[in-house]
């Protein structure tokens, strides 16, 4: 029995959580909405896992890196932790990319407006 995989998942979650906290992207940006998205995502993916296990598609082989603790047949305790991490990293990345792209677009529009002379300058020197 090992805890390597579970430990690495937790460390990775903490790393993403620190980035999230620093820039307030997902869980730190809107905690209530983020918790709802996180729970819905994990529930959907866990349902997918259970369906795959029931169909005989997903199987678990014992190994030295995982704890060996099963929540159900072929469903190790690490799986829900991984699913939380998967949703967390996906939504944090999405929120970060959206912020960068939105700010880039806003910055480009600001620069475009600054380069265009105001309407009053268009008519100066051209009396009708």
Residue 85, H or E segment: helix 78-115
Q: Could you tell me the residue ranges of all domains in the chain? A: 4-113
Q: Count CA atoms within 13 Å of residue 88 on its CB side.
A: 22
Distance separating alpha carbons of residues 127 and 123, to the nearest angstrom: 7
Please state, for a pLDDT cut of 90, what percent of the chain lies above it: 74
Q: Residue 127: pLDDT above 70?
A: no
User: Which of 7-16, 40-49, 52-61, 78-87 shows the lowest mean pLDDT across its residues?
Assistant: 52-61
Predicted confidence at residue 118, as pLDDT, reads: 67
First and final CA of the chain: distance in angstroms? 88
Predicted confidence at residue 99, as pLDDT, reads: 94
Distance separating alpha carbons of residues 96 and 27, to the nearest angstrom: 12
């Amino acid at each position: 029995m090992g805890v390597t995989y579970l430990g690495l998942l937790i460390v990775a979650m903490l790393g993403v959580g620190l980035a999230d906290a620093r820039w307030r992207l997902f869980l730190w940006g809107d905690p209530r909405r983020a918790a709802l998205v996180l729970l819905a995502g994990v529930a959907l993916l866990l349902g997918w896992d259970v369906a795959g296990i029931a169909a005989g598609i997903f199987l678990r082989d014992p190994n030295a890196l995982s704890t060996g603790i099963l929540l159900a047949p072929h469903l190790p305790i690490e799986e829900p932790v991984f699913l939380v991490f998967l949703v967390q990293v996906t939504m944090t990345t999405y929120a970060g990319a959206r912020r960068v792209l939105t700010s880039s677009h806003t910055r480009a529009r600001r620069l475009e407006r600054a380069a265009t002379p105001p309407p009053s300058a268009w008519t100066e020197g051209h009396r009708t």
